[in-house]
Structure 1
């Protein structure tokens, strides 16, 4: 194999072409004639040498002599067409044989795009090579633009996903009490308004309860606020373990919570709170209890009045000794 390249002077935008011929003199002549600052001429004196070069090099065009020992030009072309890496490389056969017409049929069948006869007219050769070099550059530019577009699409998709995640996280933070992880006051009140509208449309019962931890100030004063925070978190976790959707718990503030129970009658709501109370365990070895006021929404009753009746029921639960629940039915 003859390699007449000088990599030290190779331009990053250089396009390579391959010349395959068993004549060293012709290879040298072709190299000298076709080589340019931006066109690199790779030369191989056999089909085997050409195959090795093609395994490592991307070429814009292959100029192949038809008559070569062992593996001729047609066989090399067939190998190139069967190889994924070289399948799309344009091939121009160079032949000195007299039976040109018959050989052309074989050559075109092997994948040739053109034929040149020896001796080759330098102007014709140069013109054809330039056409394929320019086509190669255009394909490369198109591939690079497509790759850039794919990178931009991927970047946009990643950005859109990041924005969706950030939006979802922001919504979650806006709706969530930072300490306990349950809905904050604004969100649970909005959910209660929505549940009240659903109750009117679907004529289903709606009960809600205001829950308040008993003597919570004493917990903070005795054990410290960090233990008080742990009790609040443990209480929310416990309530959520005892309820099922669409029931929802939210923190109104301090140690006071709203338990929203759509589709639940007053008696069923009282059963829910008793289950929560019966299964309540100490938090960080600190025993605690809660009181509850339960109210059922009446037909057409605004949320403020339902909350007011639940709050009144909670007040009576506190006055009755705490660690209990009091119910208020819907007004007639």
Structure 2
């Protein structure tokens, strides 16, 4: 892509001469007859260099250079002043203060002119190449960040899916095991009680046999969400333990606190009013629940708490179902 060069001089003969001297296939030479015209040309071109005559009417080269330096769009353009008064020190210093990078004295030495212009053209090409590489790098970084975010999203989705029961949408057995182990150790460190509730849908095999597995799946979904809604704290966890059995982990909760939870659970399932024509207990779906609480002991395993809650649940079934039983009352 040709580089743009700006030549500014109020004398058309000077413009023509400079344009002929610098003409090259890789250059696009733009001329201006005044400072105002030069500033207007900078709005539509990105100049690699500007050759600026100092002595011009209305707006001289110094004023034009100062205005270019004051604009963020043009302040980077190297300005070479072309003047017949280079020998005057005050004149030269004013030019540098205005933003010039060099001076060329009239009459112009062609070799010096081309040499200086080529230096700044090469700098311009290098700057363009660096900007292009920077844009490419930024685009690659942006794409990498997008892919990284997408990967994180996919990994998070996979993590959630691996911990979620596909049918009911609540936590699965893997998540239950991990959470129980974590809460066991946490409550052990804090000396706090840990409660586990095991819940089982009464006569669920008979429900499936009578109404079919599609109805059974729908029943499981409804019961799962009713049990989930009965938990009032974000630290409490409900999971599908297996089949028609569910488990709730209540950290820092003793047996008396758990009674309110199991009562809400039973009432939430009753409120669903799911017809169960094959149940000898009720005309609608009910659940039996077992509650076990203990202070975690580093010498024991969380499996002990599962066994206690499971024993309590089977005690509730033995007592007629549609109720809860406390492990502490067994025996």
TM tier, smaller? 0.7 to 0.9
Partners of 2:163 and 2:175 within 8 A in 1: yes
Which stretch shifts more, 141-150 or 293-302? 293-302
Task: Say which SS state the counterpart of residue 63 (structure 1) adopts.
Answer: strand
1:200 alignment partner, SS class: helix
Task: State which of 236, 240, 244 in structure 2 corresponds to 1:247.
Answer: 236
Distance change (3 Å), C-alpha of 1:71 and 1:331: same
Name the counterpart of 1:315.
Answer: 314
Quickly say closer, same or farther: Cα 1:55–1:284, change in 2 above 3 A: farther
Q: Which moved more, 1:307-316 or 1:31-40?
A: 307-316
Q: How does 1:1-332 map to 2 (within 5 A)?
A: 12=1, 14-97=2-85, 100-243=88-231, 244-283=233-272, 286=275, 287-297=284-294, 299=297, 300-329=299-328
Counterparts of 1:187 and 1:241, CA distance in 2: 18
Provide closer, same or farther for how the CA distance between residues 331 and 225 of structure 1 changes in structure 2, counting only shifts above 3 A. closer
Change (3 A) 1:307 1:122: same
Q: Structure 1 residues 279, 257: CA separation in 2 closer, same or farther (over 3 Å shift)? A: closer
Cα distance in structure 2, aligned partners of 1:180 and 1:224? 17
Contact 1:207/1:269 (<8 A) preserved? yes
TM-score (norm 1): 0.88
CA deviation map 1:63-122 (0-9, x unaligned): 011122222211211211121111111111111248743322222221111111111010
Structure 1 stretches lacking a partner, 5+ long: 1-11
Q: Is the 8 A contact 2:312 2:330 kept in 1?
A: no
Equivalenced residues, count: 320
Q: Using the alignment, how far apart are the partners of 2:87 and 2:292 within structure 1?
A: 105
For 1:178-237, what per-residue CA distance to the aligned partner results, in whole angstroms no more than 9, with x for missing partners? 122211112202222232333433332222121011233344445544443333222222
Unaligned runs of 5+ in 2: 276-283
C-alpha separation in 1, matches of 2:182 and 2:329: 18
Higher mean C-alpha deviation, range 141-150 or range 38-47: 141-150
CA distance in 1 between partners of 2:9 and 2:172 (Å): 82
**Partner-residue secondary structure (3-state), 1:55:** coil
What secondary structure does 1:26 align onto?
helix
Q: Distance in 2 between matches of 1:142 and 1:173?
A: 45
Shift of residue 252, structure 1, vs aligned partner: 1.3
Confirm or deny: 8 A CA contact 1:47 1:76 kept in the other structure.
Answer: yes
Structure 1 residue 285: deviation in Å?
5.7
* CA distance in structure 1 between the aligned counterparts of 2:220 and 2:108, rounded to whole angstroms: 92
CA distance in 2, matches of 1:95, 1:155: 51
Structure 2 CA distance for aligned equivalents of residues 88 and 19 of structure 1: 16
